Chains A and B, each alone.
Chain A
């Protein structure tokens, strides 16, 4: 059983901290159940006689309370270490990992990074990140469709990101489920590519509503696809008027400087006085 949160260790979510010095990954020690197992034994074997009258319990409790509390706990950890945590969400194939690869390579030496990769299976994405020389933990969610605050808490225990660093969390490729789960991040970044439909913000409004930045990727393909970039921006703004939008191409590098400037503007310098 996990000493931090009491979760069972018989589940399917696995954590692998990729070892920088060895190619072969080793299993990170912690394995836990995504859903907590409960023992459902009857507990009515008391000596006293039960009065079987019905009682109403006013609960008034948020279903996501447990996740939100753990997210706040992660947030406290990030604040104390001055870590900028970003949650990257998108459909599969929008180019999240490519964007990370470019960012980690181009900003090497300028910012300290650590990465948490979320996928149902494989360490393919983590392997790509590791190749850039960045510390990375791969979370495999098994059948799970999203990362939650609890998984991040455990991934952090192995990853131990440095103070004043940027933690990039690449969520499971899914524009629906991850919207509901706060991980403790400072900013949520939704990425869409021009090979998707320009009505995507309207189709998946929860994700666009809960994000603070939208990155439109693969702009080099604009001449070849019927994607109206002004329309997607207008649609995204309808859903969330706070949303900032940056257009990039990870292939040509166009627009990446705007993204890097955004990133640097969010990194807080430690208070020294």
Chain B
């Protein structure tokens, strides 16, 4: 359940930013979460409910942008979508991949008032 640590991290970032902008309410938080980031969406939902109580995010709408995995084959230089680390290059069948997208885990934006 490292998702609770992740939620605490999101709260810390969001509250710091909102306070710096002199806001009192966070209406919306937008997150970028890559499919290879190691975050389980269901566990995140569960941790979110527990974590945001009595914080500025308690009533915020959470918007998640799921970012698909993408890799480059180090053998044949092809770029392609991957769902899992074990996926092979669809062109040459090799597993020598460089992950170029899908590990994102960040707070993208906030809507505050």
Judge: A and B partners, yes or no: yes
**Contact A59–B108 (Cβ < 8 Å):** yes
Considering the complex, which residues of chain B in the window 10-50 have a beta carbon less than 8 Å from any beta carbon of chain A?
10-15, 17-19, 21, 23-24, 27, 31, 36, 38
Known: A35-B8, A38-B15, A205-B86. A50 touches B24 (CB 8 A): yes
Write the nearest CB–CB distance from B9 to chain A, whole angstroms. Answer: 4
A238 x B13 contact (CB < 8 A): no
**Residue in contact with A43 in the complex, picked from B24, B38, B85, B109, CB distance below 8 Å:** B24
Q: Are B105 and A62 in contact (CB under 8 A)?
A: yes
Q: Answer whether residue A179 sits at the interface, using C-beta atoms and an 8 A cutoff.
A: yes
Q: Known contacts being A63-B105, A63-B107, A180-B38, is A55 close to B5, with CB within 8 Å?
A: no
Residues of A within 8 A of B108 (CB): 58-60
Given contacts A209-B85, A238-B86, contact A60 B12 (CB under 8 A): no
Nearest CB on B from A85, distance (A): 21
A36 in contact with B19 (CB, 8 Å): no
Docked-complex contact B9 and A63, CB < 8 angstroms: yes
A 200-237 contacts with B by CB, 8 A: 201-202, 205-206, 208-209, 235, 237
Q: Are A56 and B110 in contact (CB under 8 A)?
A: yes
- List residues of chain A with CB within 8 A of the CB of B105: 62-64
Docked pose: A128 CA to B56 CA in angstroms: 45
Is residue B68 contacting chain A, with contact meaning CB distance below 8 A?
A: no
Q: Are A40 and B112 in contact, CB atoms less than 8 angstroms apart?
A: no
A57 touches B18 (CB 8 A): yes
Decide yes or no whether B66 CB sits under 8 A from chain A.
no
- Does the CB pair B2–A176 fall under 8 Å? yes
Residues of B within 8 A of A201 (CB): 86
Cross-chain contact A202 with B9 (CB below 8 angstroms) = no
Residues in chain A near residue B5, CB distance under 8 A: 34-35, 144, 146, 148, 177, 181
Bound-complex Cα distance A158 to B54 (A)? 35
- CB-defined A-B contacts under 8 Å, sample of 23: A35-B8, A36-B12, A40-B55, A43-B24, A52-B113, A55-B112, A55-B113, A58-B108, A59-B110, A62-B106, A63-B6, A63-B9, A63-B13, A67-B9, A146-B5, A148-B5, A176-B38, A180-B2, A202-B86, A205-B85, A209-B85, A238-B86, A240-B85
Given contacts A59-B107, A66-B12, A205-B84, 10 further A-B contacts (CB under 8 A): A43-B19, A52-B113, A59-B14, A61-B13, A66-B9, A176-B2, A177-B5, A181-B5, A206-B36, A209-B85
